[in-house]
Amino acid sequence: MSRLIRALIMGPPGSGKGTMSSRIVKEFKLNHLSSGDLLRSQIQRQTAVGVLAKQYIDKGSLVPDDVMVKLITHELNGLPPNWLLDGFPRTVSQADSLSKNQTLDAVLNLDVPFDVIVQRLEWRWIHPGSDRVYNLDWNPPKVPFKDDVTGEDLIQRDDDKPETVRARLEAYEQLTKPVLEFYRSKGILTEFHGTETNQIWPHVNDFLSDLLQHPSKQSIE
């Protein structure tokens, strides 16, 4: 499996992008870059980008395009060309900028209904040091509220409050859904429908295995 893949994973907040990404990364040895994890690390370190981003994230709004494009471009330039990008692009303008700088092999969209998402986010706890994701109901930590690997405390994300989740879903509907159309029109979008990560994962696995064996199937400059 020597071919390099540059792929995006998309889907509404809470659709399981992070959970699916860890499975993909493990199976296909891709570098995972999550825009949300990156922003939370900037917030934790109180950088200028982090201070600015927090004002938007806490309201459930998107961080301005110019800030995001600069941040992600810088990170991607430092990665080998074998990555899975999660949470970027989230606007058509971001998608446009990305297409000027990078070639993409695949865009995967997790089409999970909104009604199953809200409950999931209420029950999500994360390990801030590693961004490992748990769910009290679905994949609980071995010891309650402690990270399985380090034993450190888990926390809840500030933007997982129900009113902020509603704002995030609205931002998704208005600004991010058009990005799906952007990639659909380029013939590079593959959709995965379902309500459970375990149910969607075998299809994602088959799709990426197939892409690795038939590299010329898709890809846009």
Instruction: Name 86's bridge partners.
Output: 9, 34
Confirm or reject binding of residue 16 to Mg ion (CB under 5 A). Answer: no
How near is the Cβ of 191 to Mg ion at its closest, in Å?
Answer: 19
The correct pick among 11, 14, 18, 141 for binding Mg ion (CB under 5 A) is 18
Strand order in the sheet with 189-193: 31-34, 83-86, 6-10, 106-111, 189-193
Q: What is the DSSP letter of 107?
A: E
The yes-or-no answer on residue 168 being catalytic is yes
122 versus 212: smaller Cβ distance to ligand G5P:
122
How near is the Cβ of 126 to Mg ion at its closest, in Å?
Answer: 9
Q: What are phi and psi of 101, to 5 degrees?
A: -110, -20
What's the rounded Cα separation, in Å, for the pair 204 and 218?
16
The yes-or-no answer on residue 23 being catalytic is no
Cα-trace Rg, the chain: 17
Tracing tokens 């893949």 back to the chain, one arrives at 5
26 versus 221: smaller Cβ distance to Mg ion:
26
**What track of x and - describes contact with ligand G5P for positions 112 through 151 (by CB under 6 A)?**
--------x---x--------xxx-xxx------------
**What track of x and - describes contact with ligand G5P for positions 165 through 184 (by CB under 6 A)?**
---x----------------
Neighbours of 69 (CB within 10 A): 20
What's the rounded Cα separation, in Å, for the pair 37 and 18?
9
> Considering CB under 6 A, how many residues would be counted as binding ligand G5P?
35
86 versus 105: smaller Cβ distance to Mg ion:
86
**What does the binding site for Mg ion look like in residue numbers (CB under 5 A)?**
17-18
Give catalytic residue positions: 17, 90, 124, 157, 168
